[in-house]
Structure formats: structure tokens, C-alpha cells
Amino acid sequence: MEDENKAVLDKNPDSETVGADKGSLELTTQGSVLLASKEEKKELPEIKVVKKKKETLMTRVVSESPNPAVVGDLVEGPVIAIDKSRVYIDLHPFGTGIIYGREFLNAKDILRKVNLGDTISAKVVDEESKDGYVELSLKEARQALIWSEAEAAILNKTIFELPVKDANKGGLIFEWQGIQGFLPASQLKSEHYPRVEDGDKDRILGELKRLIGEVLTVSIIAATPKEGKLIFSEKYPQQKEKDKLVEKYTVGDVLECEVTGVVEFGVFVKLEDDLEGLVHISEIDWGLVENPKDFVEVDEKIKVKVIDVKDGKISLSMKALKENPWESAAHEYKRGSHVTGVVIKYNKHGALASIEEGVSGLIHISEFSDEQKLRETLELGKAYPFTITLFEPKEQRMTLTFGEKDLPEVEPSTTEDGESDAKTTKEDRDETKSEEDG
């Protein structure tokens, strides 16, 4: 048997023997399989055999080695040498990193405290300097780490206690981790918001400057490293708690509250601790309201009605607790009625005249040659005769014409003049509301 096997191997010098008992399988370099046995030996059909490549130590080291550091990467390693203007860092297995030149000067205050063996994190700014070192920046690495911390703070809703460094007309300026951040006035809690009656920017700035030096509880709500922008909010840390408080209120609730602030656009009232509501100037009274201070004072107790709860805000009304004068007026007036009205206001569309408390209409400027003629004819505070040309009490909309006139018996909505007057009145009311909101 051994002689027969030897004979087979002699015929196939490049073959490899597998097995050794009753027969032997031989793998040839051509891929043939030969069988040698005591009875016979014959060639089997060709079978394709893929031989696994043996892994060497070198291939394993290469496959497991990390990729070389490139510009922008953050790397870390121990300090292995320090001289007057250079610090060397071991970046095994890539070689040696160096902080020198401008990068050394930018971080010299930190590097003065560095000792041999200390581990330093730095950012790669050049993969290979002229001397063969990996050039590093400690300052850029620190900046990158800080921005990463800022993004983590946003995700984790981290709260910080920071002093106000400065103020401008838009808000407050803070400093966090060496980076200047901004807190817009709109992100201040109600007790810190600058409530200036006439919205004067210089007075707003004065109110904001009073907060310089105070420590506020804030959180980061936006971070843009490329633009160097860091935005804070004083509201965000308490937003969830505030939302829970707001959920307790529903439209129609009648509340007794304390006035905490009076501004040109309305009245702030305290609903409970850490929760305020706004009575917009348009919701103070059915009549014309030019100055909310004519109706309420700070610390005064007033009753209000909840008219809207939306986006964590509660809108309130004082006039909703009073009788709507337009409802009673609906039974007394109609288009063509002759009335007496007192001129109470001028605007870009003409003059407003009140025919009774809370019910007023517009005399359009087109009835006069110009604005000066209108003001000469209709003086503020004086009463004049008018005729109602459009009356829609449900919409609280009315237009007037100067003098007593007989109007044709037609529906206002079907006449060109009626449509024009209605549109003008709505524009006027929108314009007035817009001015009040501003």
C-alpha cells in the first residue's frame, strides 16, 4: 500500500496528501482529486477547491491598526518633552505630536501648568510638519470639546447658574467656558422682562443693564460652532413645570388676579406662583383704550376671564365679563339711522366716532378733500350728526357718513359703496389692533 501511495505521489509531485488509513486523498495544484486504495487507484472528477490564505502577523497588525490621524481629528497622548516654546506629545503608533509657534502662544497659559507625563487632548492642524511631527492645536481642541459639551447640555437640558456680564437692547450677554453667549429678552422670565410702557429702546436697555452682575438660572437652547453662536434661555428649564400649570386652566374660567405689570400693549396679571397671563389692550374694555394705566394699577386685584389657552400661554379678557354693548345696539340701530357721535380718534383711514359707550364707527377720509380738512371739520371730543352707512353688530363693524342723509333702501353687502366701507372698516380695525400689538 505504501508503495502504491508513493507511486501516486511520484506522478503528482505538486500534490498534498490528506488522510492515511484505508486510502489517501491527494489535492493537486491543478485542482484534481486522486484516490489511492489497496484495490485500485483512479482519478475522480475535478473539484474546485479554495485554499484559505493563512493570516500572518503583519496582516493582522495592519488590519487592527487605527487609521492615521488627519486634520481636524482630536487626539490624545502623554507629554514626553517640554522646552521654552514647544511641547511634544506621544501619539503612538503614529509618531510624535508637537504644539509650537502660534498654537503654543495661544495656549501658553494652559501649557505653563503642564508637566511631563500629563495627558493632553489636542486637535490635528497639520498631519506632518516640515520636521516630520504631527502639528497640534490645544486651543482648537478645547474649543471643539466645549462645543461638544454645549450640544450635550442642550440634549440633557442642563441648567447653569451664570452671572450676567453685559446687556444690549436685544437682551443679556453671558460667558460660559470662555465662550460669549446671548440671551434674547424674549427668553427672560416674566419677573426679569423689561416692561417699558412706550417700548422705548433706550429705556429697555436701562432695565436690562440693571441685571448685570446678577446670577440667573439658564440653559443652552442653541449652539452653532461655525458661527460661534451660543443662545441661552431663562425660561427653558421651567418650561415643563409651566406647561403643567397651564394645563389646569380652560377657556371660560373666571379668575381673580393681581396686576403685576401695565405696558402699552396690555396688562400682566399673576395667576399663581411662576405663572402669568396677559390681558391684551383690545380685551381691556369695549370702548377705546389708549392707555391701559387709565383702567388698572400694579398690585390691584381684578377679575378676568380665560379666552384662550395655547402654546403654554393663557390669554385673558376683562371686557368679556362686561355686557357687550354691540348686542344691545343691534336692537337700536340699523343702516340709515341718524345718530349723534363724539369724535374720539384719528387714524390713517379717517376719524372714529362713538355713538354710545363701546360702539364706534369710521368716517372715511375720502369724504373730505384731505386729512387737514377732515380734522378741521371733525374736531376731537366734539359731537356731530352722522348717518350709519354700514352696521354689522356681530362683527362689531360700523361706518358713518358726516351729516344726516337719506340712504336708498338696499342691503349694504350688495352695494359697491357698502362693500368698500366694510373693507375699509375691517382694515381700520386690523390696523388699530396691529398698532396696539406693536
Domain map (residue ranges) of the chain: 2-43, 74-143, 159-238, 248-321, 326-437
Cβ atoms of residues 98 and 129 within 8 Å: yes
Domain 74-143: top CATH class: mainly beta
Give me the tens of pLDDT residue by residue for the chain, a chain 438 residues long. 445 444 444 444 444 444 444 444 444 444 444 444 444 444 545 555 444 555 555 455 445 556 777 887 778 888 888 888 888 989 888 888 888 888 788 777 777 777 888 877 777 888 877 778 888 877 665 676 677 788 888 888 888 888 899 999 889 999 888 889 999 988 888 778 887 766 678 888 888 999 998 888 888 998 887 788 899 998 765 556 667 778 888 899 999 999 888 878 888 888 887 678 889 998 998 888 888 888 998 889 999 999 988 877 788 999 989 888 888 888 889 998 899 999 988 988 899 999 888 898 999 999 998 988 999 899 988 999 999 999 998 888 899 999 888 887 665 444 444 444 444 344 444 443 333 343
Cβ-based neighbour number of residue 198 at 10 Å: 8
Q: Which residue's entry shows cell 498631519?
A: 127
Contact 429, 397 (CB under 8 A): yes
E strand or H helix at 206: helix 201-209
Give the pTM: 0.42
Could you give the CA distance from residue 36 to residue 309 in angstroms, rounded to a whole number? 93
Distance CA 119, CA 105 (A): 19
Name the residue among 385, 415, 383, 419 with its Cα closest to residue 400: 385
Say if strands 159-163 and 215-224 run parallel, antiparallel, or are unpaired. Answer: antiparallel
The predicted pLDDT at position 316 comes to 93
Tally of CA atoms within 13 A in the half-sphere of 24 that contains its CB: 18
- Give strand pairing partners of 345: 352
Q: What is the CATH topology of the domain spanning 248-321?
A: OB fold (Dihydrolipoamide Acetyltransferase, E2P) (2.40.50)
- The amino acid occupying position 381 is G
Q: Would you say 115 and 151 are in contact if contact means Cβ atoms under 8 Å apart?
A: no
Calculate the CA 280 to chain-centre distance.
25
Q: What region does 274 belong to: left with phi over 0, alpha with psi -120 to 50, or beta?
A: left
Q: In what order do the strands lie in the sheet with 171-176?
A: 159-163, 215-224, 229-233, 179-184, 171-176, 166-168
* Phi, then psi, of 196 in degrees rounded to 5: -105, 125
CA–CA distances in Å: residue 237 to residues 210, 331, 344, 395:
23, 53, 46, 42
Question: Can you list the alpha helix ranges (DSSP code H) found in 308-353?
Answer: 325-329
Diameter over CA atoms, the chain = 139
Q: What's the distance, CA 329 to chain centroid? A: 46
Distance CA 349, CA 366 (A): 8
CATH topology identical between 74-143 and 326-437: yes
- Which grid coordinates are listed for 47? 473539484
Topology (CATH) of 326-437: OB fold (Dihydrolipoamide Acetyltransferase, E2P) (2.40.50)
The CATH label, of 2.40.50.140, 3.40.50.720, 3.30.70.890, 3.90.950.10, for the domain at 159-238 is 2.40.50.140
